[in-house]
Amino acid sequence: MKVWQLGICGFLFGGLLLGGHYEATAQLNLNELDGRRSESGGVKRNLLRPAVPLLSIAPDSRSSAMGDVGVASSPDVFSQHWNSAKYAMLPKKWGAAVSYIPWLRKLTNEINLAYLVGYYRIDKMQSLSASLRYFSMGQMTFIDEQGNKLSSHNPNEFALDIAYSRLFLQNFSGAVAFRVIRSDLTGGFSQQNAVGTNKAGMSYAADVALYYQNNLKLGALPAQYGLGFTLTNIGSKLSYNDVYNNFIPITLRLGGRFSADVDSYNRLSAELNASKLLIPTPPIYDKDHKIVKGMNPDVAVISGMLQSFYDAPGGAEEEFQEIYWGFGVEYSYANLLALRTGYYFEHENKGGRQYLTLGVGVTYNVIGLDASYIIPSAGFNSPLANTLRFSLMVNFDQQKSSGRRRRG
């Protein structure tokens, strides 16, 4: 991987402090490579940059085609990432899926994300699910200030989780999940004058999820609505050396969905999601590195989660800017063909990622194939442009019915 590709790794992990051996990449603005621009017109933006943003990347094509929504969508195999409580409402005995994302292809062809997920329904009330995601970043070369090669490494990350979901009522379910996270960016390499000794970072986290769905009538048309709540990645800080600890992306998501059957073959669904990172907002420092506005971000995890609702230097206005919005629409025909679109919005002051999403899905018997595509907003030069995702699903033991089946 070239020097500029080393910069990609820098942005992906939020400018983590891995030591002074990255000074040769200072010519690149690492904060802009994912479209989260740290400055515009000389105005510096106050970005939230947790460790391991791998955990925030939508791994499946269906949700990513709908503006990165999924907390309240109809249950499917990929519910593990969005809302594991939905598994308790799937009628099928078990299912599995795999997804592949060629990440940042506008910049390099070496970075990719692979995701494997599956579930098993124990009985009519309970389900178990698990997933594994692996992030490979090709080869990273370490150089000194003169450009001399010091070492090389194949940085990678993975997260392994397992979840238990249960029906509380006919239309209401909940779930808990537990996750192990490992991030190895440097292979233990440290330069002589680096602060601390670099190492692979480890963290342990948990999710809490709730899901509710119910049927209703829209005039003469059958309809359904769903509501979802998740609190994900509640876990320990992650450290890449002996000095600095970094929050992982603890995230609160809320969502609502409405679906209507136009007739016995055609269904329309729309979903709106709001999400917020529950980590401290960076304060404003003076030249002596003393806080002049905002709050100290070096706090315990629970304190940081609570503080995240009121610690922004810009007050309530900036707190509202930290809410990310996603909206998506899905049209499905006879559970055989699905067309999707959506929009994702992040405020300019928090990175400005704003893009249109498109996607298509086909299902034959027990096999489903989905694809999605990202189109950044006009004038927004993002390396996420033209990002493709591909997902393959297999579901077994479907409940038979005289009509068409719902996706799940």
Domains of the chain (ranges; CATH) run: 3-396 (2.40.160.40)
188's torsion region: left (phi>0), alpha (psi -120 to 50) or beta? left
pLDDT in tens, the chain (408 residues): 343 333 334 433 333 333 333 333 333 333 343 445 555 555 567 889 898 888 989 999 999 999 999 999 999 999 999 999 999 999 999 999 999 998 877 777 778 899 999 999 999 999 999 999 998 877 777 666 767 766 677 888 999 999 999 999 999 999 999 999 999 877 666 665 555 667 888 999 999 999 999 999 988 899 999 999 999 999 999 988 877 889 999 999 999 999 999 999 999 999 999 999 999 999 999 999 899 999 999 999 999 999 999 999 999 999 999 999 999 999 999 999 999 999 999 998 898 889 999 999 999 988 999 999 999 885 556 667 778 999 999 988 754 433 344 444
Token look-up 């060629």 returns 102
* Count of other CB atoms within 10 angstroms of residue 224: 19
Token look-up 């067309």 returns 339
Phi/psi for 146 (5° steps) reads -90, 0
The kind and range of the H/E element at 320 are: helix 315-321
Radius of gyration of the chain (CA): 22
The pair of three-digit structure tokens given for residue 210, joined into one six-digit string: 């709730």
Cα–Cα distance, 182 to 52 (Å, whole number): 9
Q: What is the pTM of this model?
A: 0.85
Cα–Cα distance, 341 to 361 (Å, whole number): 12
- Beta bridge partners, 169, equal 172
